[in-house]
Amino acid sequence: MIRSIKARQDLLGGPVRLASISANTPFELVSDTVPGEQRQLLEAMGLAGAPGSLRVCRSGSPCIVEVDGTRLGLSSAIARCIMAVPLPSSR
């Protein structure tokens, strides 16, 4: 499930734009920032997955994220709208 900002306030650094997260960094989306018209599509693609199952493969345009081993490209406009919490890397 995509977490709310309040549920993630305990993490250091807090939420940042998905587009600014470095490659190979696992992350968790913050629900409050997902554009309404994209929410269902992002959830269908698995971006509402468990923490740590989401990873940025490439920042920029497109922003490429990995969801449970599958890579997805997001436009830079969408990636800039979405806030996420970088997680400690397990790799």
Q: What is the pLDDT of residues 6-23, one digit of tens each?
A: 544 454 468 899 999 999
Number of structural domains, the chain?
1
Residue 11: predicted pLDDT: 46
> What is the tens place of the pLDDT at every residue in 22-53?
999 998 888 666 767 777 888 888 876 566 67
For residue 10, give the CATH number of its domain: 2.30.30.90
Is 73 within the bounds of a domain? yes
Is 63 within the bounds of a domain? yes
Residue 31: predicted pLDDT: 66
Q: H or E segment at 22?
A: none
SS in 3 state form for the chain? CCECCHHHCCCCCCCEEHHHCCCCEEEEEEHHHCCHHHHHHHHHCCCCCCCCCEEEEECCCCEEEEECCEEEEECHHHHHHCEEEECCCCC
Q: State mean pLDDT over 67-80.
A: 89
Domain of 79, in residue numbers: 6-86
Please tell me the pTM assigned to this model: 0.75
Does pLDDT of 72 surpass 60?
yes
